[in-house]
Structure 1
């Protein structure tokens, strides 16, 4: 029987109560148990002082050379220390609050110590001590996520029994040709080494194999679903053309960039085709995504259908609604805002107008997907900042029309190869040019002792008629983090400028109405300086703001810093971003340097990948990515791209039909309804 169909209580030692507890970990079958992998490994392989790096966790064996001594401090705290010889090197060993060990440690005896290594002082700060020797190799211990009723050790025992009982039934899904091409372990070896590795290198090899398999399955699904989307989900075919857009373009106060024009052409071609559009428009901050979306909405309305734009926050929805109304109402199109703040009779009247088709373009938040919202003829759906909406929310909005075309927009810069690999079921358009007249933002990194000069620069800009933001990572003071908070910053700045500059305060704990009042005052220049947390990160557009100061900037990731910087530089005047930070780590310092070197979000995202792997680009719950067991689309992006290329070859060739090696992959695709056994191009 397939291991995915065998209940977990068929494993010896797992009874009814244990099976119920395992269900809390998502383990219901034998396969679930075998693929419940450790989240880390303890390496107890013995090391010599010359073989390990500073601050590594190590295990060393040695002969005790000094009597243990204990020092007491505080009420109940103590420090035990002794020296031992490890491979000819004298090493100091320290244990905190283990005074009871003093009577057990004897001069000349052999002990094994595990702890944190200080290479400068030749010292181990111990966490574990064993008397006697252990083997030099074969001491890698898996550590599993435990619960109050199931320990990591218990999971380890059950998995060992399951392997003994069912190892011979593990199915190999990868063709031998692929395994040989990439020198991958077979599936049985992979499962065995992930749970019971003889040494750390085997963990790496096993993880590499399993990650490739997960990502190949993911890419096969994406490739087939994209093809099915074109073949099966035919939508309405609206007749749109570029000529229809002349009145819209004529009244814009700017010309579109080459990238914007290309994106408009891509989207219009999708709308005109018989297949439903499923496109991602990704553009750097300030690249003009809204103008592209507006042009296409205009074309759809002229073709006789309605358009809807869903934004993640009410502030952003209001901003979009105002921009679109300014552009469209002189052309005779009606624009309405449907958000949580629209209530009572006003909401009832608005819903009736949407249902009868009196409203051409509806902008809103999640209020758009409520059950009582009906469209007369919804033909075009746009979700802005798509990673902030759940997959279900986007699906419900799509269902408001009869196969409407769908455009997703994001200002999160994603490296193009990664975007194509991750959004394999979508077409991707990229805006990588600044609109005409925009000047690149100048970025500087200063330490806190220069903040007085920063305040002087803010005052100079405000006196010239401009406005400024000061961003803080926290709302209130934190005992755990030594960083400035928004409330204290607001108080300090208000006192510093003594009414010469009006200061506003914005943070996530304000109500929607309070946030609206704060942003409205800033947009009208009633307040010239806005102190805020990161709630202004996405979409807020105040062209008169020319200064962005980010306090304790090392507390933010590169992607977030870039989004915050993008709140300025939206007008004709020169804008400046000042990072106030004193990073303690080299990664933090490099992050500041990168920000001062480039304003290109796509370059930044590539550097972010190089610098630290996982970034702020995706979260599986936000973007609709599957919850991989081991794979990480950012950490493993090279494997992701390899898997995408392999999936393209597998699907476009006829190996699924005729090559027995690929029978398991073909079966898998059929099981999920993604493949009918016919060649797909």
Structure 2
């Protein structure tokens, strides 16, 4: 019997109302119910108060001595205290707003209380009290599961329902992992692990149960990715690019600077992929300033030599302009025609660009989301590159890819993704990483200062501008807000225009039209404007080597990855650069962000810490990332298990007898039953 096909209302007590409420929790079948795991446990095992840390939650059994006393605050609020002899340790127990218990408590009586332990005052603030012997017998010594519930579904009722489901259907839980993996990792049986995740008798049992189910969950997920990767490799026919390798080498040797070893490695990986007949599906990640644009330029040149058009999709018009300029400089001398396509073009400019694309007169097309709109027709699209790919939803990326007949696909990101997430969210892709910075990149000194240091910051900017350098000042808001006490760009612009005179100050923000933005950025790039006050519109794509100062106001309001991106706007020339984070953080997270930014400039280390602080969903943006909703596994804790599971899944999927061998056949059937098409893995 397949328990996923057994409706939950076969169980006693599940009427129509409860059935609907369970469905809201995602519980429709008995299998869903058995795998609806608790998010925490109430620990009713007796605590050793001599070892319990201050403010820990404890459970103690003790004999009352003295009479309970109650103090009232107004008509309804009360504080009741009783003295308790807990195994020779005399403590006080306090109950808030539970004065009714006074009638049930008397000297000499033995009770059990659970609550917060104040080690210094020898005091427990009670959250739960067990008075009768039968209650104590039933509860003490247990770990009790606590579930997320809603409406008519209460925790106690759900707990009993899950127990009843195990009694009736527990023997029908089928093993899915091959015996080889179970014995290799000494995993407990599946049915036992599922039961003990709900009803562990102790921490060791709970640990073994979680260990088994974490591995299973991550293994089955990676199995899907490896299967999709195998299908993609064997069934999706791509373009086998043919190009003159000597011309590509000449192009590389003619660059104004030598490639780093990491750049050469990823270029080799990408060009090898492009030569193969299968479709390339590769993620290129590298830190800010690591040289991804040059790598993209080399791939686009090889694609051009093969007789195909290339498309580069970027999230903002500023970035589109930047890439169009840099790629034109790289590729035009070699005969490739580079054009841009953005939403702010005039009707005539757009019509001309569309005509060039359709007739094959444009070899490289750089654009924003305008590239995926209906009228854009490519003559012969061979390579699609999306930059800052996590800013596009999976549907947007897929639409651009569908503009050609299975073109090669390269995703680029300057937000380094921790390996854990890269192999989870982009696990069906090949991943290339530029983990080396170009020679000559100066380390950026980063300081965290309080807001009262602003006058000194202004003097520092003045001093740098006096040396001929330039500065960014970043603010979180465009204009003044009554709701948030954050420095705003317009106010700072007005203040600095006065304070820094005769230094010229410019203003850039997202509400300006494209022509205004372009003019401000052009003036900044040409040093006609020395200080640029901006919102995070400069986070990606702005390249001004002469800028040596980055000031971020209300820095604690920004995420770590965003702060690192902003810092990467300076340090691009030969001069020493400084990043100043201005913040009076009111939260531990804000303080931690400031600490991390001042401790390291390594984007991969920062992304790891960002993942720890925010969690995987917020790190990538849940809606766009396609991040799986794991029931048991935690990507920040279980990354080693994930890597092992991935390796095992890859090996098993590649077995010739994978679909037929008795040990692996259940896994193949699992894949066939899964709706693999329900998640777009683009």
- TM bracket, shorter-chain basis: 0.7 to 0.9
Following the alignment from structure 1 to structure 2, what is the Cα–Cα distance between the partners of residues 552 and 130?
50
For the 8 Å contact 1:559–1:616, the answer to whether it is kept is: no
For the 8 Å contact 1:608–1:615, the answer to whether it is kept is: no
For the 8 Å contact 1:388–1:623, the answer to whether it is kept is: no
Out of 603, 625, 628, the position equivalent to 1:626 is 628
For the 8 Å contact 1:486–1:532, the answer to whether it is kept is: no
Out of 263, 266, 269, the position equivalent to 1:263 is 266
Deviation at 1:170, TM superposition (A): 0.9
What is the DSSP-based 3-state SS (H/G/I as helix, E as strand, rest coil) of the residue aligned with 2:663? helix
Out of 431, 438, 442, the position equivalent to 1:439 is 442
For the 8 Å contact 1:138–1:197, the answer to whether it is kept is: no
Q: After superposition, where does 1:39-118 map in structure 2 within 5 Å? A: 39-64=39-64, 65=66, 67-70=68-71, 72=73, 80-96=80-96, 98=98, 106=106, 108-118=108-118
What is the DSSP-based 3-state SS (H/G/I as helix, E as strand, rest coil) of the residue aligned with 2:271? helix
1:239 correspondence with 2:242:
yes
Out of 545, 548, 555, the position equivalent to 1:546 is 548
Deviation at 1:639, TM superposition (A): 0.2
Q: Which residue of 2 aligns with 1:497?
A: 499
Following the alignment from structure 1 to structure 2, what is the Cα–Cα distance between the partners of residues 71 and 377?
82
Deviation at 1:423, TM superposition (A): 3.7
For the 8 Å contact 2:94–2:126, the answer to whether it is kept is: yes
Deviation at 1:314, TM superposition (A): 3.4
For the 8 Å contact 1:179–1:185, the answer to whether it is kept is: yes
Following the alignment from structure 1 to structure 2, what is the Cα–Cα distance between the partners of residues 224 and 477?
52
Q: Deviations over 1:56-103 (max 9, x none)?
A: 333334444564343638x97665555434333333444555566566
Q: Which residue of 1 aligns with 2:410?
A: 407
1:468 correspondence with 2:481:
no
Following the alignment from structure 2 to structure 1, what is the Cα–Cα distance between the partners of residues 467 and 113?
66
What is the DSSP-based 3-state SS (H/G/I as helix, E as strand, rest coil) of the residue aligned with 2:436? coil
Following the alignment from structure 1 to structure 2, what is the Cα–Cα distance between the partners of residues 122 and 508?
57
CA distance change for structure 1 residues 497 and 150 in 2, over 3 Å: closer, same or farther? Answer: farther
Deviation at 1:214, TM superposition (A): 1.4
1:571 correspondence with 2:573:
yes
Deviation at 1:250, TM superposition (A): 6.7
Q: Which residue of 2 aligns with 1:648?
A: 650
What is the DSSP-based 3-state SS (H/G/I as helix, E as strand, rest coil) of the residue aligned with 1:407? strand
What is the DSSP-based 3-state SS (H/G/I as helix, E as strand, rest coil) of the residue aligned with 1:664? helix
What is the DSSP-based 3-state SS (H/G/I as helix, E as strand, rest coil) of the residue aligned with 1:400? coil
Q: Name whichever of 298-307 and 581-590 sits farther off.
A: 581-590
1:18 correspondence with 2:21:
no
CA distance change for structure 1 residues 657 and 252 in 2, over 3 Å: closer, same or farther? Answer: closer
Q: After superposition, where does 1:164-563 map in structure 2 within 5 Å? A: 164-245=167-248, 248-249=251-252, 252-342=255-345, 344-415=347-418, 419=422, 423-447=426-450, 450-471=453-474, 484-486=486-488, 490=492, 494=496, 497=499, 499-501=501-503, 522-523=524-525, 525=527, 527-532=529-534, 534-551=536-553, 553=555, 558-563=560-565
Following the alignment from structure 2 to structure 1, what is the Cα–Cα distance between the partners of residues 115 and 475?
37
Deviation at 1:285, TM superposition (A): 0.9
Q: After superposition, where does 1:95-174 map in structure 2 within 5 Å? A: 95-96=95-96, 98=98, 106=106, 108-132=108-132, 134-135=136-137, 137-174=140-177
CA distance change for structure 1 residues 450 and 520 in 2, over 3 Å: closer, same or farther? Answer: same
Q: Deviations over 1:185-239 (max 9, x none)?
A: 2111122122233334433322221110111112222223323322221212221
Following the alignment from structure 2 to structure 1, what is the Cα–Cα distance between the partners of residues 125 and 508?
45
Following the alignment from structure 2 to structure 1, what is the Cα–Cα distance between the partners of residues 257 and 673?
52
CA distance change for structure 1 residues 189 and 590 in 2, over 3 Å: closer, same or farther? Answer: same
Following the alignment from structure 1 to structure 2, what is the Cα–Cα distance between the partners of residues 470 and 31?
55
What is the DSSP-based 3-state SS (H/G/I as helix, E as strand, rest coil) of the residue aligned with 2:365? strand
Q: Name whichever of 326-335 and 269-278 sits farther off.
A: 326-335
Following the alignment from structure 2 to structure 1, what is the Cα–Cα distance between the partners of residues 478 and 61?
49
Following the alignment from structure 1 to structure 2, what is the Cα–Cα distance between the partners of residues 475 and 129?
54
For the 8 Å contact 2:45–2:141, the answer to whether it is kept is: yes
TM-score norm. by structure 2 comes to 0.86
Following the alignment from structure 2 to structure 1, what is the Cα–Cα distance between the partners of residues 269 and 175?
42
Following the alignment from structure 2 to structure 1, what is the Cα–Cα distance between the partners of residues 493 and 79?
44
CA distance change for structure 1 residues 251 and 25 in 2, over 3 Å: closer, same or farther? Answer: same
CA distance change for structure 1 residues 657 and 634 in 2, over 3 Å: closer, same or farther? Answer: same
For the 8 Å contact 1:444–1:578, the answer to whether it is kept is: yes
Deviation at 1:558, TM superposition (A): 4.3
Deviation at 1:44, TM superposition (A): 3.1
Following the alignment from structure 1 to structure 2, what is the Cα–Cα distance between the partners of residues 520 and 443?
27
Following the alignment from structure 2 to structure 1, what is the Cα–Cα distance between the partners of residues 125 and 482?
26
Q: Which residue of 1 aligns with 2:679?
A: none
Following the alignment from structure 2 to structure 1, what is the Cα–Cα distance between the partners of residues 404 and 82?
75
CA distance change for structure 1 residues 465 and 621 in 2, over 3 Å: closer, same or farther? Answer: same
For the 8 Å contact 1:614–1:635, the answer to whether it is kept is: no
Out of 658, 662, 669, the position equivalent to 1:660 is 662
Deviation at 1:300, TM superposition (A): 1.1
Q: What is the number of equivalent residue pairs in this alignment?
A: 672
For the 8 Å contact 1:48–1:86, the answer to whether it is kept is: no
Unaligned runs of 5+ in 2: 677-682
CA distance change for structure 1 residues 160 and 532 in 2, over 3 Å: closer, same or farther? Answer: farther
Q: Which residue of 1 aligns with 2:680?
A: none
Q: Which residue of 2 aligns with 1:679?
A: none
What is the Cα-based RMSD across aligned positions, in Å?
3.8
TM-score norm. by structure 1 comes to 0.86
For the 8 Å contact 2:4–2:30, the answer to whether it is kept is: yes
Following the alignment from structure 1 to structure 2, what is the Cα–Cα distance between the partners of residues 506 and 93?
60
Following the alignment from structure 2 to structure 1, what is the Cα–Cα distance between the partners of residues 491 and 296?
38
Deviation at 1:342, TM superposition (A): 3.5
What is the DSSP-based 3-state SS (H/G/I as helix, E as strand, rest coil) of the residue aligned with 1:351? helix
Following the alignment from structure 1 to structure 2, what is the Cα–Cα distance between the partners of residues 222 and 632?
18
What is the DSSP-based 3-state SS (H/G/I as helix, E as strand, rest coil) of the residue aligned with 2:5? coil
